[in-house]
Amino acid sequence: MTATSPGPIVLWLASRYENIELVQAALAHVCRQREIDGEMEHWIGMALREAVANAVKHGNRLDPDKRVLVKFDGVGNDLTIVIGDEGGGFDPERVSDPLAPENQMKTSGRGIFYIRTFMDDVSFSRGESGGTVLTMHKDLSKRGNAKGENE
Amino acid sequence: MTATSPGPIVLWLASRYENIELVQAALAHVCRQREIDGEMEHWIGMALREAVANAVKHGNRLDPDKRVLVKFDGVGNDLTIVIGDEGGGFDPERVSDPLAPENQMKTSGRGIFYIRTFMDDVSFSRGESGGTVLTMHKDLSKRGNAKGENE
Amino acid sequence: MNKNASVRKIGDITVVELKGKITIGAGDLQMREAIHAVLNEGARKIIVDMSGVSTIDSSGVGELVGCFTTSTHKGAKMKLMNLPAKISDVLTVTQLITVFDVFPNEAEAVASFAS
Amino acid sequence: MNKNASVRKIGDITVVELKGKITIGAGDLQMREAIHAVLNEGARKIIVDMSGVSTIDSSGVGELVGCFTTSTHKGAKMKLMNLPAKISDVLTVTQLITVFDVFPNEAEAVASFAS
Ligand SMILES: Nc1ncnc2c1ncn2[C@@H]1O[C@H](COP(=O)(O)OP(=O)(O)O)[C@@H](O)[C@H]1O
Ligand SMILES: Nc1ncnc2c1ncn2[C@@H]1O[C@H](COP(=O)(O)OP(=O)(O)O)[C@@H](O)[C@H]1O
């Protein structure tokens, strides 16, 4: 731990969409601790909401007895957020591109794209019990470039 | 789980007083889910703040690498909150009575008394690793009698 | 009933005002209900006023696309106006901003139905 | 500097207005600092205005007791006024409400120093 890390914050939540609001409140707390401005908080929040929604919906399939893990961590200019579920996992390589013309008018399929757009580094792995573990990083030094655009 | 329980919410937090604010935000979320009014929320919040402050201060002795656990649970009219720390434990029987005349002007020693006053049932036990586990219950049917007075 | 959407009329144009979070499990469904309701009542010129929307997620965006498609199928036109910058950004990165007819204000949105 | 406390004067009376959360690790320490500061500057008639206090915990209550004792030792009188109901309840259950001189409003608190 360094002076710039207030230590990890971990939440275990029942699989309910309404708990996304609590995750958002936890992010607000972390952003106060880490002095992350409102603009950047907004885009991290967008990615986080998508990630938790996916864990609840696709991972745990809304089974309220299955849990979603959310962990905030990282030191210095790195904010790390891990989202875990107790679902069956999936292959992120096989997710279709929402920018492809044939997908443009689809009513779904944009969540992971938003996560990748608004965070700086995103990776998926399998948890011990087979569920999905999504690890995403935000580089806090890139303030004023909060959307994660390259220029 | 019944329709009146939104499922448990668990937080693991570094031992920092500022994290009490996050616990308070989590309580606000639970109170919205469980339809607990602002008056009752205030008194539960008071007990909860004391419990987390004790876990941070006396239990984990402000060691930021030690964690405080906060769990919200319970079904129907029972709200159960468990607060755990990684400290050395203590004997709650040996805590002095803050109402005794010789303690009245002391600058400390009222926290557990407030917890017992504002909650309906409070018990201390030892966790697996020796820390304190405080389990407190609030009877949500007693609205309008939020301070936990007997009449 | 529907705390995320309300409806008003400007001549034969129906304005659906969205408010708050158009997000999964609540605001997204209320938006769909509101827009489907005006379509079922015969509205054929629809402007969705986004000025009060604080957050939209991929579910909200998906529902918006779905409402646009449903409108087109029913022979109605659905346009958007008053997009807060963040909402506009969310539509831009998924290249939807060009799919929707988007207007900066009510005057321009209303005028677009006259031409 | 001290966002939980500000000071004003009424003649030779010093009013310390507390605001927000008088709770562990922040507001409690700021309250102590503020009251010790006015004591060190020679204040002997002190009224603590609690109207802006939203929450107090056992640490805040403990510091309040400590400030009361320190005041007495320095030959000063510290009184409380404008207690919100919840703050008054917190002091009442630990039987401290009778220890402190508590007044419902400024007029009565100020007048009490004249007698
Ligand atoms: N946590 C998860 N567990 C299982 N499958 C997932 C998970 N997250 C995403 N997926 C899969 O990836 C697909 C794309 O997800 P996403 O881009 O968020 O769009 P959407 O949620 O609208 O389908 C989902 O339809 C689902 O099949
Ligand atoms: N989680 C804990 N771990 C270890 N000791 C504790 C814990 N909680 C309370 N105590 C002990 O009980 C005493 C009384 O606690 P409390 O009534 O909250 O008053 P205070 O915190 O002001 O001392 C503490 O001084 C401490 O010795």
3-state secondary structure of B71: strand
| CB distance A60 to ligand 1 below 6 Å | no
Rounded to the nearest angstrom, the minimum Cα separation between D24 and chain B is 7
- Indicate whether A148 pLDDT > 60: no
- Indicate whether B138 pLDDT > 50: yes
pLDDT at residue B150, rounded to an integer:
40
Stated as kind and residue range, the H or E segment containing C91 is helix C85-93
Looking at the DSSP bridge assignments, the partners of residue A9 are A72, B13
Nearest to C94 among A46, A49, A113 (CB): A113
| Distance of CA B54 from the midpoint of ligand 2 (Å) | 6
What mean pLDDT, rounded, does chain B reach?
92
Residue of B nearest to D95 (CA): B99
DSSP B151: -
Complex ipTM more than 0.90, yes or no: yes
**Measured distance CA(B23)–CA(B85) in Å, rounded:** 14
Q: Return the domain boundaries, chain D.
A: 5-112
Identify the band that residue C36 occupies on the pLDDT scale cut at 50, 70 and 90: very high
Identify the band that residue B144 occupies on the pLDDT scale cut at 50, 70 and 90: low
Calculate mean pLDDT across residues A5-15: 94
| CB distance B114 to ligand 2 below 6 Å | no
Calculate mean pLDDT across residues B108-128: 97
Contact between chains at A46 and C90 (C-beta distance less than 8 A): yes
**Measured distance CA(B2)–CA(B5) in Å, rounded:** 5
For residue C61, the Cα-to-chain-centroid distance in whole angstroms is 10
Give chain D's largest Cα–Cα span.
38
Residue of D nearest to B103 (CA): D94
Q: From the CA of A127, which ligand is nearest?
A: 1
D neighbour chains, 3+ CB pairs within 8 Å: B
**Measured distance CA(A31)–CA(A147) in Å, rounded:** 16
- Indicate whether C81 pLDDT > 70: yes
pLDDT tens by residue, B80-99: 999 999 999 999 999 999 99
**Measured distance CA(D60)–CA(D70) in Å, rounded:** 15
Closest CA to B71 of B121, B136, B146, B144: B136
Contacts of B109 in chain D (CB under 8 A): 58, 62
7-46 in chain B: CB under 8 A from chain D: 17-18, 20, 42, 45-46
Identify the band that residue B31 occupies on the pLDDT scale cut at 50, 70 and 90: very high
Do chain D and B touch: 3 or more Cβ pairs under 8 angstroms? yes
Calculate mean pLDDT across residues B123-139: 96
Contact between chains at B104 and D96 (C-beta distance less than 8 A): yes
**D4 or A116: whose pLDDT is higher?**
A116
**Measured distance CA(C89)–CA(A145) in Å, rounded:** 13
Q: Which residues of chain D have pLDDT under 50?
A: none
Contacts of C68 in chain A (CB under 8 A): 105
Contacts of B50 in chain D (CB under 8 A): 57-58
A58 CB burial (10 A radius; 0-12, 13-18, 19+): middle
Residue C55 tokens, joined: 């957050």
Q: Return the domain boundaries, chain A.
A: 9-145
Identify the band that residue A147 occupies on the pLDDT scale cut at 50, 70 and 90: low
pLDDT at residue B8, rounded to an integer:
95
pLDDT at residue A1, rounded to an integer:
41
**Measured distance CA(D67)–CA(A112) in Å, rounded:** 56
| CB distance A58 to ligand 1 below 6 Å | yes
pLDDT tens by residue, A64-90: 899 999 999 999 999 999 999 999 999
Identify the band that residue B64 occupies on the pLDDT scale cut at 50, 70 and 90: confident
Write the CATH number of the domain with boundaries C5-112: 3.30.750.24
Contacts of A119 (CB under 8 A, 6+ apart): A44, A47, A136, A137, A138, A148
DSSP C104: S
pLDDT at residue B151, rounded to an integer:
36
Rounded to the nearest angstrom, the minimum Cα separation between A12 and chain B is 5
Contact between chains at A106 and C94 (C-beta distance less than 8 A): no
Q: Which CATH superfamily is domain B9-145 in?
A: Histidine kinase-like ATPase, C-terminal domain (3.30.565.10)
Identify the band that residue A142 occupies on the pLDDT scale cut at 50, 70 and 90: confident
- Indicate whether B1 pLDDT > 70: no
Length of chain C: 115
**Measured distance CA(B144)–CA(A37) in Å, rounded:** 40
